[in-house]
Structure 1
Amino acid sequence: MPIVAYGSAMGWISPNKALLMGDSSPAPFPLNEEDVSWMASIMFIFAPIAVFIYGMATDKFGRKNALLCASIPISLGWAVKLICTHPIALIGARALIGFGSGGGFVVCPLYVKEISDDSIRGMTGTFVIFSQTAGNLLVFILGDLLPYNMVLWILLAVPLIHFCILLRLPDSPSYLVKSGRNEEAAKVLGWLRSVPDTDPSICNAVDRLVIEQTTSELKFSPKLLFANKTAMKAFWVALIVNLAREFCGCIAVLVYASHIFAEAGKDPGSSVGLSPNKQSILLALVQIIGSFLACQLVDRVGRKPLLAVTSAAAGFSMCLLGVWFYLQTVEVHMPGWVPILALCVSIFADASGLQPLPFVIMTEMFSFQLRGTVATLIMAISLGTDFALLMLFTPLNNWIGYHSTFWLFSAVCLTNVFYLILCVPETKMRSLEDIYSDLEGKRNHANKTDAAG
């Protein structure tokens, strides 16, 4: 639910940009492009700060307590928007939401990974992004159908409901074992697996957690990560995969969806009979279908093939979108459904692979000892990248044109395909030893030796 709140906050700009900048703006005066750019990007200044704070808090105070604290600034952010509509207040409100969302994004994948059985951890890991897409769809629909203030009241209810529900849920078994509460960890595992806590499988699971944590001290320690060459190589792989997701351009498309559709519809010959907001709703529907598909496929197909295919699909669709905008500049007209199709394909690819799978890979490539450190560092860098991308998106379009901007996004996606094939190991149902053997090249060397023998 904190990720639902994040998705709704990220998409809130799209249906409200024209209103806030128009003569009937709920603000004391119409906002300008600079105000909107800061509103869109300010979340991603404070989110990286929150990532470090919550990254340390989640190891010291537990996953559950950290998630509870994530909902507080999110609630305050929506409340501030209800109380005051001055541009500075709106920007400050989004900073609060970004702070809470940054915490949710670093804690949720860890919590979900640690409560999930190995056979479903891919599906439950992708559910984090499914929640984000649900938030996008929610705010697009509400923004198109309901008045400004009523939408804010509904969005305020999301983190408040989350806080109340989470009070009844347990902390993760890994953290309970780390805290020396082994019996409680066994009860939680039994409840999660729907078996008695005395079942042999539960006893074995607790024993594995004890062994994992007695061999390492859990703390936020970049120094410990940098000292391990193989883990450091895994960190670079996970970071590049995550940054490719950020630079694929889909986050900019979602935040500025209505604006992009409005730009695409300026040509009278390209009209498709849908308002920009309704086209954005269509985009969000495609996104949520894609994220649902990811939940079904990730544990069947594997992380690496699905990520490569979706990255290629996003690359080609972004290229097509660039071609469409370029032809508009030279007064060569294409049907109005082309940009809608291209954006839908890119968002579908993003939701079904590019968005969820880097989170899954990130949690599967590291031991419990390093997982929190890696998640904190990668999420901080990724969210900082989002801030830069959203701040530069409008000036970049004004400078080089929409067509060149989308071609840059396309180049990132297609380059990522080759990187995935050549450098990223498969992590599905594999131990850390096997994954690290791939990274070190030992497995390939062993296979060549066996073939020679």
Structure 2
Amino acid sequence: MHAKSKLAIFNKRYRRQILATLTEHIMTFAHAAGLGWLSPTLNILQSPASPLDFPITTEDASWIGSTFGLGFIAGNVFFGLTLDRLGRKLNIYILAFPHMIFWILNYLVQSVEYLYVGRFCAGLASAGIFLVVPVYISEITDKDIRGALTAMAMMFFSTGLLCGYILATYLDYYLIPCIIIVLPIIYLVGNLFLPETPQCLLKHGREKEAELSFNFYKNIEPETNVECFATQPSVAISEFKELKAAIDLGGLSVPVTLKDFFNRSTLFNFFTAAILCLLNQLSGSFAIINYMANVFAASGSTIDPNVSAIVMGFVQILGSLSATVLVERFGRRPLLLSSAVGMMVGMYGFGAFVQFTDEETKAAYNWVPIIFMMLVVFTASYGVFGIFFTIVVEMHPAKIRVQALSICMLFNSILVFITLKLYPFFLFNLGITVTMYSCASVCVIAGIYLYIFLPETKGKSMEKD
């Protein structure tokens, strides 16, 4: 359909797709900054230097962490029900508001309940970011760059986490909400200039608007480019007709029924997606982000835990950038499987160092836990955490993709709540060694299954099964 090159991502055709992706990831960045802010902030709020007028206990801290999971569950139910009914764009607007409420409540905090509700709202926003945005991006982008642009989410996520770590460590508690709340406002203004996806418009029978949207995202404007008038319209018409035919033939404009979910292929995809969710959460890839400073404090390392967490933020950015660069070159499977192996090695090594060394050795080799955790964070960022959403979006049949993704994210959100609630218990009661060994064992078991059964989804059409 169009010329390919080694630098295809710089093709004029993709400019608006990239611009739209960058606009959506403003919220990804802002959300991640809120998650990164939590880890050092919890340590500060539990210390004598707390800026709040009330104490935060370990149990309070556990609930502050886990109420995010409850919000994530509620958000997946809400956005799963509204994504097709209200369309992608309206949901993209909606998800910004709970995030803004999160920062407003952090600023106005009068009791720990403010923090609970704020984290719940952060979970609501997170569900929208990880359910609505991947579907939107997958529908507006060409398959040649889809993997890179969906994986780009983790690069913004990692950068936001790092900014959150730094802001919480070095700036006043009440100043941070005033800075971050500007981002969702910019995000909302930017989205005013972006149309609904052509697939969503076609599903609702709005063919003329769908064609205009298609031309917008493919950067086709023949009326302003006389030289291309003879070639681009015919290409655009051909591609749009192909998209419309794929949606019609695939039954995407026909209501979804229970029969679409209960067949061997679909059930197998659901089971494989469930294993991916278990790996994504029970491996600790997300919980470690929330409790990074606590992990280093529990390791016995003499290096400042907050400084270690900031170092991990830089490592996470490198891992996410690697995913963006490598996902279209090597495919999804190799990155995911090598990531599971890297996390397993890093966590077994971290746990063994803590278990089998004395205090003198820990002090002399205080850099060893950082090296092992760098391996865990880097490999998680380019695979288990980094391309998880890319794979889950691509693996399901086109007709039920939105509903299937919603179900998977609902299951994943339940795991988020369980993990964030149990991780502090494992960390503080059972110890860092048991925590690391348990997470590493999940990588082993899930990795074996995925090595045998996970299909490669690189280059898969978003309209055809």
Change (3 A) 1:66 1:91: same
CA drift at 1:96: 1.3
Residue equivalent to 1:301: 330
CA distance in 1, matches of 2:109, 2:420: 24
**In the alignment, does 2:79 pair up with 1:44?**
no
Q: Which letter maps to 1:425?
A: P
Change (3 A) 1:224 1:9: farther
Match of 1:279 among 308, 332, 336: 308
Change (3 A) 1:220 1:50: farther
Change (3 A) 1:262 1:63: same
**In the alignment, does 2:389 pair up with 1:354?**
no
Secondary structure (helix, strand or coil) at the match of 2:135 reads helix
**In the alignment, does 2:356 pair up with 1:327?**
yes
Q: Which letter maps to 1:321?
A: F
1:194-343 equivalences in 2 (<5 Å): 194-196=219-221, 199-215=233-249, 216-217=251-252, 223-265=258-300, 270-272=301-303, 275-328=304-357, 333=362, 335-343=365-373
Q: Which letter maps to 2:237?
A: C
CA distance in 1, matches of 2:178, 2:320: 26
Secondary structure (helix, strand or coil) at the match of 2:381 reads helix
Q: What TM-score comes out, normalization by structure 1 length?
A: 0.89
1:162-177 equivalences in 2 (<5 Å): 162-177=187-202
Per-residue CA distance 1:294-317 (angstroms, 9 max, x = gap): 000000001111111111011100
Residue equivalent to 1:17: 42
CA distance in 2, matches of 1:130, 1:222: 37
In the alignment, structure 1 segments of 5+ residues that lack a partner are 437-453
**In the alignment, does 2:207 pair up with 1:182?**
yes
Match of 1:72 among 83, 97, 109: 97
CA contact (8 A) 1:313 1:346 kept: yes
CA contact (8 A) 1:314 1:345 kept: yes
CA contact (8 A) 2:346 2:373 kept: yes
Per-residue CA distance 1:142-181 (angstroms, 9 max, x = gap): 1122111111112222222211211221111111222223
CA drift at 1:43: 0.9
CA drift at 1:353: 1.0
CA contact (8 A) 2:71 2:119 kept: no
CA contact (8 A) 2:195 2:213 kept: yes
CA contact (8 A) 2:287 2:419 kept: yes
Q: What TM-score comes out, normalization by structure 2 length?
A: 0.87
CA contact (8 A) 2:281 2:287 kept: no
Residue equivalent to 1:403: 433
Secondary structure (helix, strand or coil) at the match of 1:29 reads coil
**In the alignment, does 2:183 pair up with 1:158?**
yes
CA distance in 2, matches of 1:221, 1:41: 34
Change (3 A) 1:408 1:373: same
Equivalent residue pairs, number: 429
Change (3 A) 1:357 1:183: same
Moved more, 151-160 or 288-297: 151-160
Q: Which letter maps to 1:341?
A: I
Change (3 A) 1:341 1:327: same
Change (3 A) 1:28 1:330: closer
Q: Which letter maps to 1:406?
A: M
CA contact (8 A) 2:243 2:463 kept: no
Q: Percent identity, aligned pairs only?
A: 27
CA RMSD, Structure 1 to Structure 2 (Å) = 2.2
CA contact (8 A) 2:35 2:164 kept: no
Change (3 A) 1:174 1:413: same
More helix by share: 1
CA contact (8 A) 1:220 1:373 kept: no
CA contact (8 A) 1:318 1:409 kept: yes
In the alignment, structure 2 segments of 5+ residues that lack a partner are 1-25, 223-231
Q: Which letter maps to 2:435?
A: T
Per-residue CA distance 1:64-86 (angstroms, 9 max, x = gap): 11010000111112111111241
Per-residue CA distance 1:267-288 (angstroms, 9 max, x = gap): xxx434xx22121111011001
Q: Which letter maps to 2:316?
A: Q
CA contact (8 A) 2:279 2:443 kept: yes
Residue equivalent to 2:11: none
CA drift at 1:393: 1.1
Moved more, 14-23 or 180-189: 180-189
**In the alignment, does 2:169 pair up with 1:139?**
no
**In the alignment, does 2:115 pair up with 1:90?**
yes
CA drift at 1:219: 8.4
